[in-house]
Amino acid sequence: MTAHPIMFEDDDPLLARARAIALALPEAAEKVSHGRPAFFTQKVFCYFGGSVRIDQEWVAHDAAIMVRPDPADEPALRQDPRFWVPAYLGPSGWLGIDLDDATDWREIAELIDASFRVTAPRRLVRELDER
Protein backbone atom coordinates (compact mmCIF):
# COMPACT_ATOMS: atom_id res chain seq x y z
CA MET A 1 0.00 0.00 0.00
CA THR A 2 1.41 3.40 -0.93
CA ALA A 3 1.01 6.53 1.15
CA HIS A 4 -1.18 9.32 -0.14
CA PRO A 5 0.73 12.24 -1.63
CA ILE A 6 0.69 15.43 0.40
CA MET A 7 -2.01 17.65 -1.14
CA PHE A 8 -1.44 20.92 0.70
CA GLU A 9 1.17 23.57 1.37
CA ASP A 10 1.90 23.88 5.08
CA ASP A 11 2.33 27.67 4.77
CA ASP A 12 -1.06 28.18 3.03
CA PRO A 13 -2.63 31.25 4.71
CA LEU A 14 -6.14 29.77 4.42
CA LEU A 15 -4.92 26.61 6.17
CA ALA A 16 -3.34 28.81 8.86
CA ARG A 17 -6.70 30.48 9.58
CA ALA A 18 -8.60 27.17 9.64
CA ARG A 19 -5.86 25.58 11.76
CA ALA A 20 -6.01 28.39 14.35
CA ILE A 21 -9.78 27.97 14.70
CA ALA A 22 -9.67 24.18 14.92
CA LEU A 23 -6.72 23.90 17.30
CA ALA A 24 -8.28 26.42 19.72
CA LEU A 25 -10.92 23.80 20.58
CA PRO A 26 -10.45 21.59 23.67
CA GLU A 27 -7.88 18.81 23.15
CA ALA A 28 -7.89 19.32 19.38
CA ALA A 29 -4.89 18.02 17.48
CA GLU A 30 -3.81 17.82 13.86
CA LYS A 31 -2.65 14.90 11.73
CA VAL A 32 -2.27 14.27 8.02
CA SER A 33 -4.93 11.89 6.74
CA HIS A 34 -5.18 10.86 3.09
CA GLY A 35 -2.69 13.61 2.21
CA ARG A 36 -4.64 16.43 3.88
CA PRO A 37 -4.65 18.13 7.30
CA ALA A 38 -7.26 16.63 9.61
CA PHE A 39 -8.27 18.11 12.96
CA PHE A 40 -9.53 15.71 15.59
CA THR A 41 -10.13 14.81 19.22
CA GLN A 42 -11.14 11.14 19.30
CA LYS A 43 -12.72 11.56 15.85
CA VAL A 44 -11.92 13.93 13.00
CA PHE A 45 -14.10 17.05 13.06
CA CYS A 46 -12.56 19.04 10.18
CA TYR A 47 -10.47 18.37 7.10
CA PHE A 48 -8.65 21.02 5.10
CA GLY A 49 -9.23 20.28 1.43
CA GLY A 50 -11.24 17.60 -0.26
CA SER A 51 -12.72 16.49 -3.55
CA VAL A 52 -15.93 15.54 -5.29
CA ARG A 53 -16.50 12.95 -7.94
CA ILE A 54 -18.47 14.15 -10.94
CA ASP A 55 -19.21 11.38 -13.43
CA GLN A 56 -15.87 9.58 -13.50
CA GLU A 57 -13.73 12.66 -12.82
CA TRP A 58 -12.24 13.82 -9.51
CA VAL A 59 -12.59 17.55 -8.87
CA ALA A 60 -10.23 18.83 -6.17
CA HIS A 61 -11.22 21.50 -3.66
CA ASP A 62 -7.78 22.19 -2.24
CA ALA A 63 -8.71 25.45 -0.46
CA ALA A 64 -11.72 24.24 1.50
CA ILE A 65 -12.86 22.71 4.74
CA MET A 66 -15.00 19.64 5.19
CA VAL A 67 -17.13 19.40 8.33
CA ARG A 68 -20.02 17.50 9.88
CA PRO A 69 -22.74 20.14 10.25
CA ASP A 70 -25.15 20.48 13.13
CA PRO A 71 -28.06 18.18 12.20
CA ALA A 72 -30.51 21.08 12.62
CA ASP A 73 -28.55 23.18 10.11
CA GLU A 74 -27.70 20.45 7.61
CA PRO A 75 -30.85 20.68 5.41
CA ALA A 76 -30.38 24.43 4.89
CA LEU A 77 -26.65 24.06 4.23
CA ARG A 78 -27.37 21.39 1.61
CA GLN A 79 -29.55 23.94 -0.20
CA ASP A 80 -26.78 26.58 -0.13
CA PRO A 81 -24.89 26.45 -3.46
CA ARG A 82 -21.59 27.26 -1.72
CA PHE A 83 -21.58 23.81 -0.10
CA TRP A 84 -20.65 20.58 -1.84
CA VAL A 85 -20.87 16.92 -0.90
CA PRO A 86 -17.39 15.42 -0.61
CA ALA A 87 -16.41 12.11 -2.11
CA TYR A 88 -16.31 9.26 0.41
CA LEU A 89 -17.42 11.36 3.41
CA GLY A 90 -20.62 12.76 1.90
CA PRO A 91 -22.75 9.68 2.71
CA SER A 92 -21.74 10.10 6.38
CA GLY A 93 -23.17 13.62 6.48
CA TRP A 94 -20.05 15.66 5.72
CA LEU A 95 -20.19 18.86 3.66
CA GLY A 96 -17.44 20.99 2.12
CA ILE A 97 -17.17 24.73 1.57
CA ASP A 98 -14.46 26.51 -0.39
CA LEU A 99 -12.27 29.18 1.19
CA ASP A 100 -10.94 32.31 -0.49
CA ASP A 101 -10.12 35.96 0.18
CA ALA A 102 -13.84 36.75 0.65
CA THR A 103 -14.43 33.99 3.23
CA ASP A 104 -16.52 34.94 6.26
CA TRP A 105 -14.26 33.50 8.95
CA ARG A 106 -16.95 33.86 11.64
CA GLU A 107 -19.10 31.50 9.58
CA ILE A 108 -16.17 29.09 9.17
CA ALA A 109 -15.55 29.19 12.93
CA GLU A 110 -19.24 28.39 13.54
CA LEU A 111 -19.09 25.45 11.10
CA ILE A 112 -15.93 24.06 12.72
CA ASP A 113 -17.44 24.56 16.19
CA ALA A 114 -20.62 22.71 15.16
CA SER A 115 -18.61 19.84 13.67
CA PHE A 116 -16.55 19.60 16.86
CA ARG A 117 -19.79 19.39 18.88
CA VAL A 118 -21.12 16.60 16.63
CA THR A 119 -17.96 14.48 16.88
CA ALA A 120 -16.22 15.27 20.20
CA PRO A 121 -16.77 13.46 23.50
CA ARG A 122 -19.40 15.13 25.70
CA ARG A 123 -16.83 16.15 28.29
CA LEU A 124 -14.97 18.22 25.66
CA VAL A 125 -18.21 19.87 24.53
CA ARG A 126 -18.91 20.73 28.20
CA GLU A 127 -15.39 22.15 28.50
CA LEU A 128 -15.98 24.29 25.42
CA ASP A 129 -19.30 25.54 26.84
CA GLU A 130 -17.60 26.46 30.14
CA ARG A 131 -15.04 28.70 28.41
Give the global pTM.
0.95
At residue 83, the pLDDT reads 97
Structural domains of the chain sorted by starting position, each given as residue range(s) with its CATH number in brackets: 13-126 (3.90.1150.30)
Could you give the CA distance from residue 55 to residue 50 in angstroms, rounded to a whole number?
Answer: 17
pLDDT digits (tens, 9 = 90+) for 8-58: 999 999 999 999 999 999 999 999 999 999 999 999 999 999 999 888 888
Maximum CA pair distance of the chain?
A: 47
Nearest-5° Cα angle at 83, 48 to 44? 35
Chain CA centroid to CA 7, Å: 15
Asked if residue 1 has pLDDT above 90, the reply is no
Could you give the CA distance from residue 8 to residue 36 in angstroms, rounded to a whole number?
Answer: 6
